[in-house]
Amino acid sequence: MTAKILDGKLVSQEIRKSLEDEIRKLDPKPGLAFVQVGENPASTIYVNLKHKACQQVGIYSEIHRLPESTEEIELLSLINNLNSRQDIHGILIQLPLPSHINSYRALDSINPLKDVDGLNSVNVGYLHQGRPNLIPATPKGIIRLLSYYEIDLEGKNTVVIGRSNLVGRPIAELMTQKNATVTLCHSRSKSLKDITRNADILISAVGNPRFIKGDMVKQGAIVIDVGISKLEDKIVGDIDSETVSEIASYITPVPGGIGPMTIAMVLENTLEAYKKFNS
């Protein structure tokens, strides 16, 4: 068996084309503000990619790059200003923030209706109550990709590796809401291989290059790779695709899998925020 590719690049292009067609008819346009503190190279790349994607679909966007030395009160003041602006419908703080800034306080300062990353405590609460407002982009992208390929989630034994607030916890909740049976694993989980080999759907979000080998995967499993790492000048994921592809039924590539879906969901969330603002 050779696993079929869950092509996030293809699906995201379809989503972006649909968004572009809808946004073309809108006046004024949706607006999204990116906030980056410090000069983390990866953060700069991610922000630039999202900013470019906004331009391509017709969303107005602006980038606020603040120096590493920015005090928390200065960041909160900027967020407060963006909250009050009528032309900005979404606000995205690029993580991580410098250690002297309380990330939770910064995220909670965003108006929940403008929180396109879905990380404000209000939106996290809504998500776990089963009545989400704005859903974190990467978990939302995973669900949309599985839906596109008509993969039934109900009753599926799903294992999520990684318990971050950005991916692991919300995707576990979303899968539960789709009636999957979910096990959330992390660095302290024991006998991990025994757990993963029982997974109908395996989602890895740990950022450990080629961590998941073929002997950790159930025959015919659906494998979602959220990790991204640089190894020997190559971009690789958590999944050792060479060995896992011979066992899994479906697999996401890195790059070209969940990454493009994440960007597409940021755009979609911005449009959703715009519609709620104008409703």
Q: Tokens 């946004």 label which residue? A: 23
Q: Tokens 């419908």 label which residue? A: 89
CA distance 175 to 182: 7
Q: Residue 65: count other Cβ atoms within 10 Å of its Cβ.
A: 15
φ, ψ of residue 189 in degrees (nearest 5): -70, 135
264 is written with which tokens?
């597409």
Q: What's the burial of 69, exposed, middle or buried (CB within 10 Å: 0-12/13-18/19+)?
A: exposed
Amino acid at residue number 233: D
CB 92 within 8 A of CB 84: no
246 is written with which tokens?
């011979």
Residues with Cβ within 8 Å of residue 249, at least 6 apart in sequence: 1, 3, 4, 220, 221, 222
3-state helix, strand, coil in the chain (%, to 5): 40, 20, 40
Identify any residues that bridge with 35 across adjacent strands, giving them in sequence order.
64, 93
CA distance 269 to 264: 9
Q: Is 231 helix (H, G, I), strand (E, B) or coil?
A: strand
Q: Is 276 helix (H, G, I), strand (E, B) or coil?
A: helix
Active-site residues: which are they? 50, 94, 117
Amino acid at residue number 44: T
